[in-house]
Homo-oligomer: A and B are copies of this chain.
């Protein structure tokens, strides 16, 4: 079974990204495929490579990038939501890619389940 994940909020401010991350890790542990993680609304901020939390805090940008690399997960940042918020190639962490909203709809079509995390 294939899962798609939609994240609507940025890191730290809301728990959405944390919950989605732990859900994704658990889904992988259960043997499910993660078809795509799509970052929309403030969710685009999860890909900002300049994010530098305190050393005893989790770094959600790195966590997502690492998880994506280890499990070959497609991490897609919405271009339209990203542009207005200043999330562009100049600040994008390795492992994320910027693309259109069609990637969200396509994920909804291809995946067997879509789970939305937001505020």
Q: What residues make up the interface of A, taking CB atoms closer than 8 Å to B?
A: 10-13, 41-42, 45, 48-54, 57, 61, 83-88, 90-91
A contact face: mostly helix, strand, loop, or mixed? loop
With known contacts A42-B42, A91-B91, A50–B10 Cβ distance under 8 A: no
Interface contact A54-B90, CB-CB below 8 Å: no
Return the contact of A90 from the options B50, B53, B87 (Cβ within 8 A).
B50
A101 CB, nearest partner CB in chain B, Å: 14
- Contact in complex: B51, A86 (CB < 8 Å): yes
Contact B45 A84 (CB under 8 A): no
Q: Which of B42, B52, B53, B87 contacts A50, CB < 8 Å?
A: B87
